[in-house]
């Protein structure tokens, strides 16, 4: 079943991922409706229609779903009931069962273990369970993570010794958590894979990701690992997408452990921050590929046209004084660079740690692109450069 250009695509969630999805869909001639509880969201600003209502608002959901030929989502924290309702009224991809697994760490890890995919050893601790015993079983250092939704390091605590364990026991008291071995990794990688309803799948080139304070800072493509590892990551990604029966996109975050093994850290059934580089450096972007996949169009080429480095721009890049923004970053150097593209998400209010935009730097030599990216980022953050 092909959903042809001119049809209406719905997206649950109105953040930057929904915005870039909507822009890609509109480039292919689709109309886009966005459902997002908060008004004036980044995706709503570019959508053909914006629904601002709660996920518990069955009447609004019904009107939204009835107006869409297919619905997808741009974030994972969507309750089951609205998905069920939408699924009964129109097509919904990736199927809700995929989201159910990916929106809960414990379910995700249990699924990886059951299906035999390489993952970080973990132990489950129920709300009334013995956290200290689980930490001793897994061994220190380890990381405690809430079983339920968490992102960008939220709800996580590293435990390195008895004192930290004591603090963690108090902090996570009464919570359902996962205790995970701390991985001594060489680097973090990710691969975004698209799969169509016809079963065709395509992986984007593997990205190497550098996080700062648990938030993605730089994505480097191609990842600076050998070809065999890149191929292994892509094959692993494709195998997971097949096994999960995904229609749409799935991002797979991986650790390359010190012993050379790839371990799956997280799955996200949607476009991913580490795939933003595809907008400027691939024949088809992850957003266009997502549109193609959920509409049953042939998938586009995921080939890399140039090595590239993507840098996130957080609200921290604004000039702050006593908790208030006093000046926007100076975009001049970014805008003047012939190999750089700036993407801003139209968010009105910068906040520390909030993703406001990103930029990409291309160069035939990825080391040169990384160096340039670091220089441009430093210039953005340096108040001295501001007029
Ligand atoms: P997550 O929210 O699970 O993706 O974790 C955010 C970041 O924390 C990861 O990208 C890693 O940089 C770090 N991290 C999470 N879990 C581990 C682990 N088991 N070992 C080492 N680093 C971790």
- Predicted TM-score (pTM) of the model is 0.96
Range(s) of the domain holding residue 83: 8-92
CATH number at residue 146: 3.30.1490.20
Residues 174 and 207 in one domain: no
Domain assignment present for residue 202? The answer is yes
Which of 75, 92, 109 is where one domain is finished? 92
> What is the spatial distance between Cα 153 and Cα 269, in angstroms, rounded to a whole number?
18
> What is the spatial distance between Cα 372 and Cα 281, in angstroms, rounded to a whole number?
16
Contacts of 338 (CB under 8 A, 6+ apart): none
Residues 192 and 176 in one domain: no
Domain assignment present for residue 84? The answer is yes
Predicted confidence at residue 155, as pLDDT, reads 77
Nearest to 120 by CA among 184, 168, 76: 184
Taking the CA of residue 185 as reference, the ligand 1 atom at the shortest distance is: 21
User: Domain total for the chain?
Assistant: 3
Nearest to 186 by CA among 233, 146, 116: 233
According to DSSP, the residues that pair with 260 across neighbouring strands are none
Q: Is the C-beta atom of 182 inside 6 A of ligand 1?
A: yes
Using one digit for the tens of pLDDT, what is the confidence trace for 333-368?
Answer: 999 999 999 999 999 999 999 999 999 999 999 999
* DSSP string over 149-206: ---TTTTEEEE-SHHHHHHHHHHTTT--EEEEEPP-EEEEEEEEEEE-TTS-EEEPPP
41 contacts 26 by C-beta, under 8 angstroms: no
Going from the Cα of 148 to the center of ligand 1, the distance in angstroms, rounded, reads: 15
Length of the chain: 387
Residues 158 and 225 in one domain: no
Residues 295 and 342 in one domain: yes
> What is the spatial distance between Cα 334 and Cα 113, in angstroms, rounded to a whole number?
44
Residues 208 and 355 in one domain: yes
Please give the backbone phi and psi of residue 101, each rounded to the nearest 5 degrees, phi first: -70, -45
Nearest to 23 by CA among 47, 57, 56: 47
CATH number at residue 237: 3.30.470.20
Q: Is the C-beta atom of 267 inside 6 A of ligand 1?
A: no
Q: Where do runs of H (alpha helix) occur along the chain?
A: 16-27, 58-66, 80-89, 96-102, 105-115, 131-138, 162-171, 227-244, 278-281, 286-295, 332-336, 366-381
Predicted confidence at residue 148, as pLDDT, reads 82
52 contacts 25 by C-beta, under 8 angstroms: no
Going from the Cα of 193 to the center of ligand 1, the distance in angstroms, rounded, reads: 21
According to DSSP, the residues that pair with 189 across neighbouring strands are 208, 254
Going from the Cα of 201 to the center of ligand 1, the distance in angstroms, rounded, reads: 27
Using one digit for the tens of pLDDT, what is the confidence trace for 369-379?
Answer: 999 999 999 99
Ligand 1 pocket mutation pick from 109, 118, 143, 157 by most atoms within 8 angstroms of CB: 143
Predicted confidence at residue 385, as pLDDT, reads 43
Residues 272 and 358 in one domain: yes
Residue 384: is its pLDDT beyond 80? Answer: no
Going from the Cα of 13 to the center of ligand 1, the distance in angstroms, rounded, reads: 25
Q: Is the C-beta atom of 264 inside 6 A of ligand 1?
A: no
Going from the Cα of 253 to the center of ligand 1, the distance in angstroms, rounded, reads: 10
| Averaged pLDDT of the chain | 95
Q: Is the C-beta atom of 211 inside 6 A of ligand 1?
A: yes
Question: What is the residue whose two structure tokens read 């740690």?
Answer: 353
According to DSSP, the residues that pair with 33 across neighbouring strands are 10, 49
134 contacts 123 by C-beta, under 8 angstroms: yes
Domain assignment present for residue 115? The answer is no
Using one digit for the tens of pLDDT, what is the confidence trace for 137-196?
Answer: 999 999 999 988 655 556 789 999 999 999 999 999 899 999 999 999 999 999 999 999
Q: Is the C-beta atom of 188 inside 6 A of ligand 1?
A: yes
Predicted confidence at residue 386, as pLDDT, reads 47
Residues 223 and 297 in one domain: yes
Using one digit for the tens of pLDDT, what is the confidence trace for 220-272?
Answer: 999 999 999 999 999 999 999 999 999 999 999 999 999 999 999 999 999 99
Domain assignment present for residue 104? The answer is no
Q: Is the C-beta atom of 102 inside 6 A of ligand 1?
A: no
Predicted confidence at residue 58, as pLDDT, reads 96
Residues 150 and 250 in one domain: no
Going from the Cα of 276 to the center of ligand 1, the distance in angstroms, rounded, reads: 20
Residues 177 and 189 in one domain: no
Residues 232 and 377 in one domain: yes
Residues 82 and 176 in one domain: no
Domain assignment present for residue 304? The answer is yes
Residues 81 and 14 in one domain: yes
Using one digit for the tens of pLDDT, what is the confidence trace for 25-39?
Answer: 999 999 999 999 999
Domain assignment present for residue 114? The answer is no
Domain assignment present for residue 131? The answer is yes
Kindly report the protein residue whose alpha carbon is nearest to atom 9 of ligand 1.
214
What is the sign of the dihedral through the CA atoms of 174, 180, 182 and 187? Answer: negative
Using one digit for the tens of pLDDT, what is the confidence trace for 308-328?
Answer: 999 999 999 999 999 999 999
Domain assignment present for residue 209? The answer is yes
Using one digit for the tens of pLDDT, what is the confidence trace for 220-232?
Answer: 999 999 999 999 9
């Amino acid at each position: 079943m092909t959903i042809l250009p001119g049809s209406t695509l719905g997206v649950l969630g109105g953040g930057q991922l929904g915005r870039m999805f909507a822009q890609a869909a509109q480039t292919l001639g689709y109309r886009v409706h966005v459902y997002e509880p908060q008004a004036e969201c980044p995706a709503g600003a570019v959508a053909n229609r914006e629904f601002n209502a709660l996920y518990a608002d069955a009447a609004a959901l019904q009107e939204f779903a009835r107006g869409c030929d297919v619905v997808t989502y741009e974030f994972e924290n969507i309750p089951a009931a609205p998905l069920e309702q939408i699924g009964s009224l129109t097509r919904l991809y990736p199927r809700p069962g995929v989201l159910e697994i990916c929106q809960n760490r414990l379910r995700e890890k249990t699924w990886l273990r059951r299906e035999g995919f390489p993952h970080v050893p973990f132990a489950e601790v129920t709300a009334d369970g013995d956290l200290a015993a689980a930490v001793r079983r897994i061994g220190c250092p380890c990381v405690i993570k809430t079983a339920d939704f968490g992102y960008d390091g939220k709800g996580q605590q590293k435990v390195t010794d008895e004192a930290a364990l004591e603090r963690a026991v108090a902090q996570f008291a009464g919570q359902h958590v996962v205790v995970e071995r701390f991985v001594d990794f060489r680097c973090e990688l990710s691969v975004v894979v698209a799969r169509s309803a016809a079963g065709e799948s395509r992986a984007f080139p593997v990205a190497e990701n550098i996080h700062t304070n648990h938030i993605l800072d730089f994505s480097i493509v191609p990842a600076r690992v050998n070809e065999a590892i890149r191929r292994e990551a892509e094959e692993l990604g494709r195998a997971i997408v097949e096994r999960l029966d995904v229609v749409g996109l799935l991002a797979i975050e991986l650790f390359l452990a010190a012993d050379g093994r790839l371990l799956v850290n997280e799955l996200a059934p949607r476009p991913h921050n580490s795939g933003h580089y595809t907008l400027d450096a691939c024949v088809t972007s992850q957003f266009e590929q997502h549109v193609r996949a959920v509409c049953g169009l042939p998938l586009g080429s995921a080939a890399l046209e140039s090595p590239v480095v993507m840098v996130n721009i957080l609200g921290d890049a604004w000039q702050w004084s006593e908790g208030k923004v006093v000046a926007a970053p100076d975009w001049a150097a970014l805008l003047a660079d012939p190999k750089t593209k700036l993407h801003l998400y139209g968010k009105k209010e910068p906040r520390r740690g909030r993703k406001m935009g990103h930029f990409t730097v291309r160069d035939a030599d990825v080391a040169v692109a990384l160096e340039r990216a670091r220089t441009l980022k430093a210039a953005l953050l340096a108040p001295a450069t501001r007029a």
